[in-house]
Amino acid sequence: MLTDHSDSPLMRLLADRTRREDVRGPTLAHVHREIGRLLAADVARSLALEDVAIQHPTGAATGVRIVPGGEPIVLALMRAGLFVAEGVWEALGAASLVPCAPEPAQLGRLPAADRVVVVVDSVINTGRSIRRWLDALGERRPRQRVVATLVGYRPTMAGLVADYPDVHFVTARLSDRSYVGKATTDTGSRLFGTEQWRLE
């Protein structure tokens, strides 16, 4: 399943700021977090919630929480997925945030069974890294796999949806252009201020 926010007015406004050449560093990271918070609304639909007693300023009341033991795990694919993942993590409250290398070899003892696991990347272009993560996570029997991204290349996203019908894909926007950024056009470089580094 694919939930695409390309036509959402608020998401369009936020996504526009990510595409502007003069938006970078902490300002760009802030926009990525805001987008992550909005994407978290779709992630939350996969969570099991329960009522819980809380203390309201006017007295005892009923609140809500994620069912204990079912707290989601947010995997931030480094580098550029970090700030979108932080937005998802902040919005969900009880989630765990795990910064990850692009390869899933570091899954180790990740307690994914019966949990919602959210893989977050800033851009999905070819889909190769997301496929490796989804395959590795599938072996760990999560209750739900979710992929959240700032931008996805439309043909790649269509292929992923067809190949992984049990995964929920959430995008801020779809793009009809495929490209791999370098230096000033690379999302990670713009986020971390390393556009001019020779190694970028």
The DSSP secondary structure of 71-106, one letter per residue, reads: --EEEEETTTTHHHHHHHHHHHSS-EEEEE-SSGGG
Residue 9 has pLDDT above 80, yes or no: yes
Please give the pLDDT value at position 183: 47
DSSP 167: S
Please give the pLDDT value at position 146: 96
Q: Is 86 left (phi over 0), alpha (psi -120 to 50) or beta?
A: alpha
Question: Mind listing the pLDDT tens digit for each residue in 73-131?
Answer: 999 998 888 999 999 999 998 888 988 877 777 677 788 888 999 999 989 999 998 99
Residue 41 has pLDDT above 90, yes or no: yes
Alpha carbon dihedral 43, 44, 46, 51, in 10-degree steps, equals: 170
Please give the pLDDT value at position 199: 54
pTM for this model (two decimals): 0.86
Sheet holding 144-153, edge to edge: 2-4, 168-175, 144-153, 116-124, 73-77, 96-100
Question: What's the number of CA atoms in the CB half-sphere (13 Å) around residue 2?
Answer: 22
Out of 3-7, 125-129, 195-199, least confident range: 195-199
> What mean pLDDT is predicted for residues 127-137?
91
Residue 154 has pLDDT above 90, yes or no: yes
